[in-house]
Amino acid sequence: MIFGPPGSGKGTQAKLLRDLLKIPHISTGDMLREHTSHGDGLGVDAESWMRSGRLVPDATVDRLVEERLLQPDCAGGAILDGYPRTIEQARSLKAVLSRLGMSQLVIHLKVDYTKVIVRIAGRRQCARCGLLYNLVANPPKEPGICDRDGEPLVIRDDDRESVVRERLETYERQTSPVLDFLAGSGSKLCEVEGNDASPAEILQRIRDCMVLR
C-alpha cells in the first residue's frame, strides 16, 4: 500500500507501480469520486464529507475496498492508494487480507507539508475534459485556460487551501498513527523520501526498498 499525506504523490507512484508489477491500482479517492459523479446514494453522502476535508466514514470505505479486492484481477495482489487512513480501517484490511491469504507491504512517502500545500493549492482542472494542471510545475499556456479545448480551469473543492490544510491536520491526527499500528502488526515497511525528486527517481527508491524487504 502507498502511505503518505495528501499531495505526497501516492497516486502517481501507485500508477507507476501498477504498470511495473502488472497488478490493479485501487484508489479509494477515485472510487468515491466516481460514485459522487454518478450521484448515487453513496456518492451524495461521500461528497458532503469530502467538501469539508473530512474523512468518509470507515464502514463505507471498508466496504468499497473489500468488494474490489474480491474481484478476480486482484488474485495476484493489488496496490492500495489512500487506504487505510485510520486504525479501524487498518484492522478491517488486515482481516480481509488474512482471509485472502495476502500479506502487506507499506510504502511510506515522507514529504514536507509546506510543499504539499503549495502543490495541491496550485492544482487546476479543465471544467470540460478534466485535464489537470499545476500553476507551479505544469501551468497552462494561457492563465486559467485549458490548452486542449480552451475551456476555463477550475479549482476542485478538495484542492482549496483551507480544505488542504484541514486534510493535512486530519491526516496527522487520525492517519499517521496507522503507521505504528501496521509496523506493530507485522507489516513490512519501506520509508521513502518523497521531496525534491522526479516521479521516476522516487519509483527507483521504492524499488530499491522493496528489494531490501
**Cell numbers representing residue 148 in the block:** 486542449
Residue 22: exposed, middle, or buried by beta-carbon count in 10 A (0-12, 13-18, 19+)? exposed
Q: pLDDT at position 203, please?
A: 94
Q: Which residues pair with 3 in a beta bridge?
A: 108
Q: pLDDT at position 30, please?
A: 79
Q: pLDDT at position 43, please?
A: 62
Active site residues: 10, 85, 123, 156, 167
Q: What distance in Å separates the CA atoms of residue 58 and residue 107, rounded to the nearest whole number?
A: 21
What pTM value is reported for the model?
0.73
Res. 90: pLDDT tops 70 = yes
Give Cβ neighbours of residue 69 (< 8 Å, ≥ 6 apart): 26, 78, 96, 97, 100
Give Cβ neighbours of residue 65 (< 8 Å, ≥ 6 apart): 26, 28, 80, 83, 93, 96
Res. 213: pLDDT tops 80 = no
Q: pLDDT at position 167, please?
A: 86
Q: Where are the beta strands (DSSP E) in 65-169?
A: 79-81, 105-110, 123-126, 132-134, 153-154
Can you tell me the mean pLDDT for 185-204?
89
Q: What distance in Å separates the CA atoms of residue 107 and residue 88, rounded to the nearest whole number?
A: 19
The dihedral formed by the CA atoms of 135, 136, 139 and 141, expressed in degrees to the nearest 10: 110
**Cell numbers representing residue 182 in the block:** 501496521
Residue 18: exposed, middle, or buried by beta-carbon count in 10 A (0-12, 13-18, 19+)? middle
Q: Return the higher-pLDDT residue of 196 and 24.
A: 24
Can you tell me the mean pLDDT for 165-194?
88
Domain 2-112+175-212 falls under CATH 3.40.50.300: yes
Res. 170: pLDDT tops 70 = yes
**Cell numbers representing residue 57 in the block:** 466514514
Q: What distance in Å separates the CA atoms of residue 140 and residue 133, rounded to the nearest whole number?
A: 7
Res. 13: pLDDT tops 80 = yes
**Cell numbers representing residue 205 in the block:** 527508491
In three-state secondary structure terms, 16 is: helix
CA separation (Å) from 134 to 57, 98, 113, 197?
30, 40, 17, 16
pLDDT tens digits, 25-71: 998 877 777 767 776 666 666 666 666 666 678 888 888 889 889 99
pLDDT tens digits, 50-63: 666 666 788 888 88
Give Cβ neighbours of residue 167 (< 8 Å, ≥ 6 apart): 5, 6, 53, 158
